[in-house]
Structure 1
Amino acid sequence: MTKDAVNTPFSQGELGQLLIERLDEAARCSAPGAGVTRLFCSQEHQNVLPLISRWMEQAGLAPQLDAAGNFVGRCPKAQAGEKTFIMGSHQDSVIEGGKYDGMLGVALPILALEALKREGVTLPFGIEVVAFGDEEGVRFPTTLVGSKALAGNVTPDQLAVRDEQGVSLEEALTAFGCQPDEIPAIARNPANTLGFLEVHIEQGPVLEQRHHAVGVVTALTGIERHRVTLRGKAGHAGTTPMPMRHDALVGAAEMVLAVDSVLQRTDKLVGVVGKLDVHPNAVNVIPAEVTFTVELRSPERHIRQRGREAVYAAMEEVATRRGLVLEMENTYSADATACADWIMTSLEKACADVGQPAERLFSGAGHDGLAMQALTDIGMLFIRCKEGLSHHPDEAITAEDGEAATRVVMAFLQQLEQP
């Protein structure tokens, strides 16, 4: 890049195209297979950091890997300890996910800061952009470790959880080049933190139906996750009479249908049984043990509680009838979180400033804001995604919408006023 290019403001349309190019580049840091697979503390996670580092440096940010696996870029004011506004999202993906879930919220605010730098704009407060290490909770049975670390809420039991290969989170962080014993020291000071903003694809169809490029989020849904273990008795598949079997997989199959039935008949409650493991998983052996996950989501705690109780009662009935042992363990829980009124108002003004209509809408997905709200006021800007599709290789946005959202963030930062 020439010196003149570095100092020349981006032309209309250039920001959106560059954003797409950067996200395409990041998507190549993926495990083999369809879409994007980039898990926490993986080689793919390691591979994407130099890209993010380069983007940060071009925006005038100093990049650094922290003790919790977050990659953080700070402007000079933030480095000097001045009051700071935080932006960011997560770098990790689901298995065979899309290019934009998470990484969009890393690349876009960095690009917005680079554009402001080119225009000679100096913000009167510090800025840091965070590429959180783990939001999806795919590798380890915990999530939001990075954002919880900034909020000062990581506990020793979270670091002790293990992945399917038996590697603990603490061991994975250490191997990744982090010092997990220093996690308490990276907690931000609430008095010095102005707020937190995440930019994210909507992961739903509302903006596309409204024909809007962006939307202002009002709140993030409440989420809880459970690990269910069902134990029966292994036996020879050819010699054990059917009435005498205690087949854990057959019981689990009934339970999956029972969970779906509860979800189908409970208003404002959604969920999924997304993962299932069978032991001994042999072609001619009656399954002795099945472990599966149950995730429940609702903006209202009492609805999740009622759904959880109904799910457990249904599973208990199956276990009793089939002579199986049932255990259900809560592995994650977060209540719904409201976005700050002053950030929503500021985002709406920024949208108006750049000529973008922006209605308010609720997020049915969980995000790092669920943890960051313990530190500071949070806000969220949604970007329209094709057919509302997410967690899928065909996840897509347009360069035009990326451009619009980047300019909204630029306007937001320039007129940012805390109440």
Structure 2
Amino acid sequence: MRMTLEHAYGIQGDRLWRTIQELGLIGADSSGGVTRLSLSPEELEGRVYITKLMKSAGLEVHRDEAGNLIGRLAGSRPDAAAVVTGSHIDTVNEAGRFDGALGVLGGIEALRAIKEQGIPHERPLEVVCFTDEEGIRFGAGYLGSRAMAGDWQSEWLDFTDEEGVTLREAMESAGLSPESVWKAKREAGSIHAYVELHIEQGKALEHRGEPLGIATAIYGHCWLDIRLLGEADHAGTTPMNLRRDPLLAAAESILAMERIAVQHGGVATVGKLGVKPGSTNAIPGEVRFTVDIRHEDASILERMTQEIERHIVTSGKTREVEVHIKHTDSGSPVAASESLLHAIADGCQLAGVPASPIVCGAGHDAVAMSRLAPIGLILVRSKDGISHHPAEWSSPGDCEAGVNVLLHTLIILANQQNT
């Protein structure tokens, strides 16, 4: 069934905005932002809120073995492959209110509107609140969506956070069985399409003057954990030529990353840096830092990673520093499905919202879900491109526009006749 402009529907923008503000109070911190690390007490409280919201929207709710919260709205063909939307509510430290949360709350609002307005749809519709998209607490992201897509790795259970808590322990504290996470895998063919609504987290849409973008591809990424071991010594009594300073090796490597990223048209970021013993008058003996490397081309991403690793090793040898490199996470670039690009474009037309193609630089659960189903991604304009920060902001009008496009896209996909 192809929708026409006479069949346009809409969500309740005020209700959507209220839920964004209510969820934003859970995990509110002293920075003025939100901190809801995955499986933390704050994030678990947020899950209680999401569960209540799903139920109040008239959805059937359950939690799978990976901790993903799933709200389902039956269709007239209950055995047909489902159309799925969703995102996450876990955050980085001192984050904003929109990253991930808009996709979950917008999905709930869209399904609520479909149920309230009695909008015909053949396929079942689902909204998912995924477990641990960000990956910052334990060093591996997309955990819930990877489990659903059948890409679960049991070694992740032994990853630890900064307090020494393992993922296994955090899951057990949340009432989950770590050894059963693999059971969250959905069968091939069970999902017809996955479409995600997310803030852009960049400046392109604002520069264009457009409220929404239709992502044609998502950057691939590689995460590294680097540990450099030198020799701690007195800062005043140790001559420069006799030092084995791992911080200098790290500094050389970090500057090299910038050159490599610019050369290849990608990005490379050191987001965490730790120095021991951390005294003003002591030469560091150990340095540990993370590297986040991204590119839309898989071969170039691999080349960037190899060049960065090679430079770290070379700097370590030159300065007689021991080098340890650990790959903690990775994801290949993902292209959006042509059929979903068309469905979203039709959804934009029905909602009366202009949007144009854009490449998405941030990773999302859609990356993992692409192993399971065709994916599409709707991006909402971010003020000043700010994200992962208390100043993160998308206007009420842009959020409403994004969810209205999601609503129409879901209706279009839910009424497609192919299996």
Do both share a fold (TM > 0.5)?
Answer: yes
Q: How does 1:296-335 map to 2 (within 5 A)?
A: 296-335=293-332
1:338 equivalent to 2:324? Answer no
| Selected match of 2:150 from 140, 147, 152 | 152
- The CA distance in 1 between the partners of 2:85 and 2:188, in whole Å, is 15
Partner of 2:190: 192
Q: 1:188 to 1:79 in 2, by over 3 A?
A: farther
Corresponding residue to 2:375 among 367, 375, 378 = 378
Residue number in structure 2 paired with 1:22: 19
Among all aligned residue pairs of Structure 1 and Structure 2, give the percentage whose two residues are the same amino acid. Answer: 36
Maintained 8 Å contact 2:77/2:123: no
1:233 aligns with 2:234: no
Amino acid paired to 1:283 = T
CA–CA distance in structure 1, aligned partners of residues 232 and 139 of structure 2: 27
Q: Please state how far the C-alpha of 1:341 moved relative to its aligned partner.
A: 0.8
Give, in angstroms, the shift of residue 100 of structure 1. 0.5
193-202 or 208-217, which deviates more? 208-217
Over the aligned positions, Cα root-mean-square deviation in angstroms equals 2.0
Number of residue pairs aligned between Structure 1 and Structure 2: 407
CA–CA separation in structure 2 for the residues paired with 1:305 and 1:82: 39
Q: Judging changes above 3 Å, is the alpha-carbon distance between structure 1 residues 253 and 79 closer, same or farther for their aligned structure 2 residues?
A: farther
Matches within 5 A, 1:183-222: 183-222=181-220
- State how far apart, in whole Å, the 1-side matches of 2:157 and 2:338 are: 34
Per-residue CA deviations over 1:263-318 (Å, capped at 9, x if unaligned) read 23x13211101111122223333211111111110011221222223223322332
Whether the 8 Å contact between 1:389 and 1:395 is mirrored in structure 2 is yes
Picking from 251, 254, 261, the partner of 2:252 is 254
User: Is 1:109 equivalent to 2:103 in the alignment?
Assistant: no
Rounded to whole Å, the distance in 1 between the matches of 2:73 and 2:411 is: 15
Give the AA of the match of 1:26: L
TM-score, normalised on structure 2? 0.92
Offset, 1:38: 0.8
The separation in 1 between residues aligned to 2:147 and 2:354, in whole angstroms, is: 35
Matching residue's letter, 1:310: E
Unaligned runs of 5+ in 1: 1-10
> Counterparts of 1:43 and 1:304 in 2: how far apart (Å)?
36
- After superposing the two structures, state which structure 1 stretch, 143-152 or 248-257, moved more: 248-257
Q: How big is the shift at 1:33? A: 2.6
CA offset digits 1:201-235 (Å, max 9, x no partner): 11122222222221211111110011111110112
Query: Secondary structure of the residue that 1:415 maps to in structure 2?
Result: helix
Separation (CA, whole Å) in 2 of partners of 1:304 and 1:50: 39
State the TM-score, normalizing by the size of structure 1.
0.92
Q: 1:178 aligns with which of 172, 176, 180?
A: 176
Q: CA–CA distance in 1 between the matches of 2:124 and 2:232?
A: 61
Question: What displacement does 1:418 show?
Answer: 6.2
2:267 maps to which residue?
Answer: 270
Contact between 2:111 and 2:125, CA under 8 Å: does it hold in 1? no
Structure 2 counterpart of 1:185, one-letter code: K
Match of 1:406 in 2: 403
Q: 1:397 to 1:78 in 2, by over 3 A?
A: farther
2:392 aligned with 1:395 = yes
Q: 1:280 aligns with which of 239, 264, 277?
A: 277
* CA deviation after TM superposition for structure 1 residue 77, in Å: 5.3
Cα distance in 2 for residues equivalent to 1:25 and 1:356: 27
Give, in angstroms, the shift of residue 64 of structure 1. 2.7
Q: Which amino acid in the other structure matches residue 203 of structure 1?
A: Q
SS at 1:359 equivalent: strand
Structure 2: runs of 5 or more not aligned: 1-8
